[in-house]
Amino acid sequence: MGSRISRRGCRVAVRRLRYAESYVRARLFGTDGITMSPLNHTAIVLGVTGGIAAFKSASVASLLVQAGSRVDVVMTESAQRFIQPLTFSAITHTPVHTNAFAPWTDEHSGHVSLARNADLLIVAPATAAAIARLALGLADDLLGLIALSTEAPIIVAPAMEDRMFNHPSVRDHLVTLAERGVIVVGPDHGRLASGAIGDGRMASPEAIVEAAATQLRRSSQLHGRKVVVTAGGTQEPLDPVRYIGNRSSGMMGYALAAAAMSAGATVTLISGPTTLRPPCGAEFVEVTTAVEMHREVERATFGADILIMAAAVADFRPETRSERKLKKQVDQEFMDVRLVRNPDILASIDRPDLLKIGFAAETEDLLANAKRKLEAKHLAIIVANDAELTIGASSSTATILTSEGDVTALPPMTKSSLAAKVIDVATTMLNRADRRP
Ligand SMILES: Cc1cc2nc3c(=O)[nH]c(=O)nc-3n(C[C@H](O)[C@H](O)[C@H](O)COP(=O)(O)O)c2cc1C
């Protein structure tokens, strides 16, 4: 049976679309007009790459301009086969950049000034080729040069046929970008250029511009604040080659450090051994044991606003560390290792002006244990999750409890999304505390 939309259905759909449009417009431009928008007076670089959805980027440019942004459009060679630069310059009233080797002047030094002046880089549509180039850090065109040179947050809106989008190579590159803090918007499920229905349709221009507004609002959330994050598991040595450790991957702490960075904070990341890359721009301190981590947290939290303890710190350490590799004796059946208590870092650091956030990874009585920990350690926030499901995994199903009595059970989400939520809650609490007399 073919799909048919009745006239009534059409009218309802159009009304819904108008409602959605006015809702998005109110969020982007504010009900009081343009000045309310976080996009007002911002500089956005809009990278347009060579996919069919390039024509929709004209709407992205137009919405950004209407919201008060200055938009510099950068087009790849392929993009210019799909849409003319003239369209964008007419919308943005700014020359379109198509050549990495255009002459430099006092006012314009190519990718360097575009990267430096940008508050945000949006790549929409992002082709499979562009996603690969961004993930690999290729600098062989103007867009790649800007992406490598800018400190601004980056949003990519993938657009391609679903077979391409589902290819492991594209997926892996998107994961790499997301791990580096790049915001991936869409793609949507729907009708593709080929006529097939599937994943790969570029997110709507409204959704892309709303993501831009959200990011810019977020970029200033923690401006001027200092955030200390711990991550990974500690290793407690038995001898020069053996240690007692745990399965923590560090992913949650690294995601929190990245989220705090994109919220505009100055971040110190104190990490046990992991295989992860620290986010660019964070002060990075590597430690091995709980005692070392304690010392570094004490140092770093001086003058800090937020401490987030996402590290899995060993509660006990071997009482002695053998200088030589321990050898088993002939006929030895048992080995006794006496453990001593490690410092409780979160409990021991108690400054009235420091907002403390802890994690409760438990295997039983999750919420009751989390609440007990929240109170005992004078935390503002505790993130409770199932230890077995969370440790080492890339996603998490968590509940956020606050000292103000809020309990928010979150659906399953990536650790990056959970990190952004935790930072949002912390910002709200910090701002509320500031307003108190
Ligand atoms: C008609 C046509 C449509 C295309 N649409 C897409 C697309 O939607 N997404 C995509 O990733 N590549 C698409 N491609 C392939 C890209 O244009 C090609 O990979 C190009 O090298 C991308 O260059 P760029 O990333 O530098 O812009 C399309 C190619 C053609 C000929």
Q: What is the mean pLDDT of residues 75-99?
A: 96
Which tens digits make up the pLDDT trace of 106-143?
778 889 899 999 999 999 999 999 999 999 999 999 99
Q: Is 129 in the pocket of ligand 1 (CB under 6 A)?
A: yes
Q: How high is the pLDDT of residue 392? A: 66
The per-type count for the chain, helices as H runs and strands as E runs, is 16, 21
Tracing tokens 């939309």 back to the chain, one arrives at: 5
- Please state the φ and ψ torsions of residue 156, each to the nearest 5 degrees: -120, 140
Tell the residue number behind the tokens 């711990």, with chain if given.
230
Cα of 138 vs centre of ligand 1, distance in Å, is: 17
Q: What angle do CA 198, 215, 134 make, to 5 degrees?
A: 60
pLDDT at 258: 87
372-386 tens-digit pLDDT: 999 999 999 999 988
Please say if the pLDDT value at position 211 is more than 70: yes
> H or E element: which one contains 401?
strand 398-402
Confidence class of residue 416 from pLDDT cuts 50, 70 and 90?
A: confident
By alpha-carbon position, which residue is closest to atom 28 of ligand 1? 51
pLDDT in tens, 214-266: 888 877 789 899 999 999 999 999 999 999 999 999 999 999 998 898 888 99
Domains of the chain: 30-219 (3.40.50.1950), 226-318+333-435 (3.40.50.10300)
**CA 32/CA 167 separation, integer angstroms:** 45
For 184-209, the pLDDT digits (tens) are 999 999 888 888 888 999 999 999 99
Q: Which helix (H) or strand (E) holds 209?
A: helix 205-219
**Percent over 70 (pLDDT), the chain:** 91
Q: Among the atoms of ligand 1, which is closest to the Cα of residue 130?
A: 25
The continuous run of DSSP H or E covering 48 comes out as strand 43-48
CA dist., res. 421 & res. 427, Å (int): 10
**Residue 168, pLDDT score:** 95
The minimum-distance atom of ligand 1 relative to the CA of 141 is 26
Task: Label the pairing between strands 70-75 and 43-48.
Answer: parallel
Q: Which residues lie across from 43 on neighbouring strands?
A: 70
Q: Which of 78, 82, 161 to mutate to test the pocket of ligand 1 (most atoms within 8 A of CB)?
A: 78
**Which of 154, 164, 83 is CA-nearest to residue 127?**
164
* 415 or 359: which leads in pLDDT: 359
Cβ 57 under 6 angstroms from ligand 1: no
Is residue 418 a contact partner of residue 385, using CB atoms and an 8 Å limit? no
Closest protein CA for atom 14 of ligand 1: 51
CB atoms within 10 A of CB 417: 17
pLDDT at 35: 43
pLDDT at 12 over 70: no
Would you state the pLDDT for residue 436?
64
Minimum mean pLDDT range among 15-19, 276-280, 307-311, 346-350: 15-19
**Tell me: the pLDDT tens digits for 138-172?**
999 999 999 999 989 999 999 999 999 999 999 99
* pLDDT at res. 31: 44
Q: Tell me, in angstroms, the distance from the centre of ligand 1 to residue 177's CA.
A: 20
> What pLDDT, in 10s, does the model give residues 270-291?
999 999 888 777 899 999 999 9
Atom 5 in ligand 1: which residue has the minimum CA distance? 51
pLDDT at residue number 36: 57
- Measured N-to-C along each axis, helices 7-29 and 205-219 cross at an angle, to the nearest 10 degrees, of 20
Among residues 153, 146, 69, the alpha carbon closest in space to that of 113 is found at 146
More confident: 293 or 416 = 293
The catalytically annotated residue of 246, 342, 369, 385 is 246
Q: Clarify whether 246 is annotated catalytic.
A: yes
Task: List, for residues 310-327, the tens digit of each pLDDT value.
Answer: 999 999 999 999 999 999
For residue 165, what are the contacts with CB-CB under 8 A and spacing of at least 6? 128, 158, 171, 187, 198, 199, 200
- Rounded to two decimals, the pTM is 0.65
DSSP one-letter code for 200: E
The share of the chain scoring above pLDDT 90, in percent, equals: 68
What is the DSSP secondary-structure string of 330-392?
A: TT-------EEEPP-HHHH---TTPEEEEEEEESSSHHHHHHHHHHHTT-SEEEEEEHHHHTT
Centre of ligand 1 to C-alpha 81, Å, is 10
